[in-house]
Amino acid sequence: MPKQVLVIEDEPNIIEAISFILSRDGWTVKTHSNGLTAVETVLMRKPDVVILDVMLPGKSGYDILRELRDLPQTATLPILMLTARGQTKDRELAERAGVSHFMTKPFSNAEVLAAVQALVAPVGDAK
């Protein structure tokens, strides 16, 4: 069964690029673009990985990440956070909130694919 990724992002070009590269790699890609309903969508869809933008309408990616980490069913869910703001303080904020991997925009397709694959690789099976 293909792995499912949920892309929580409000920029259509980024959604399209990520959807293309991951679906080409065999992933089932679902998308969501509203920060206010992002946590409920994660709980409903039960993805294997979440790609989460920092700046979303309604609620920040940091707040969404903290909420997901506080719930038992999503406490260990692999979450890749994307942001156009890649300062050290942004990375530290994401790490304190429990992010699995942090990536700044712009990114390469290969970087996103490698990060997502690494997040779901069994322990000891990293490439």
- What CATH number is attached to the domain comprising 92? 3.40.50.2300
User: Which helix (DSSP H) or strand (DSSP E) does residue 31 occupy?
Assistant: strand 28-32
Report the pLDDT value the prediction gives residue 86, as an integer from 0 to 100: 75
Is 74 in contact with 68 (CB distance < 8 Å)? Answer: yes
Residue 29 burial (C-beta neighbours within 10 Å; 0-12, 13-18, 19+): buried
pTM of the model: 0.93
- pLDDT, tens digit (0-9, with 9 covering 90-100), for 75-95: 999 999 999 887 889 999 999
Residue 121 has pLDDT above 90, yes or no: no
**Do the domain assignments include residue 125?**
no
- What is the pLDDT, as a whole number, of residue 122? 75
Is 126 among the domain residues?
no
Across 106-124, average pLDDT = 88
Q: Give the residue numbers spanning the domain of 17.
A: 4-120
**13 lies in some domain:** yes
| Number of structural domains the chain divides into | 1
CA distance 115 to 111: 6
